[in-house]
Amino acid sequence: MSERASPTLRPATNADCEPVRDLVFEVLAEYGLRPDPGNTDADLANIEQSYFAHGGAFYVLEDQNSSIIGAYGLYRMDEHTCELRKMYLRREFRGRGLGKRLLEDALANARRLGFKKVVLETASVLKEAIALYQAYGFTPPPTQPPLRPLRPSLRARVAVSWPGR
């Protein structure tokens, strides 16, 4: 039996809700952020209903042991716009180009689904993610003040958008 040489992306199902939630909450804790299962993270209780049923998508990245090591969701905002949500990658898999792979796949799927614009909000402490988003052309809205350090316990948001190319 051959092992997969690199992690594999696949569409998520509701069977993935618990491991995806564990991934998200683990990364949030790593950065001193609090999960919000009753609000911001409520979509993780039913991935199929929250994403696929409304014209979006949710993908997971699995290692060779079929463990979920990364994820992203595309939440339909309107006919032309989706929100990139829940793009997370376990710490031990960072620095290998997998974050870039997740983002490129997300943008390709957004195009495939017919979206012209991708928006996202992220915590200001996620500096590596912000740098990746900016490298792909995401920009903060003109009305947003510049980033400034915040207490890590605050789940402050940085809104950015990608105009599609």
- Quickly tell me which residue has 């912000």 as its tokens: 130
Q: What is the pLDDT of residues 34-53, one digit of tens each?
A: 999 999 999 999 999 999 99
Domain architecture of the chain: domains with CATH: 8-162 (3.40.630.30)
Q: Measure the CA dihedral 26/93/127/43, to 10°.
A: -40
pTM: 0.85
Give the per-residue pLDDT at 139: 80
Give pLDDT tens digits for 140-164: 776 665 544 433 333 334 444 555 5
By C-alpha distance, which of 125, 124, 126 is closest to 158? 124
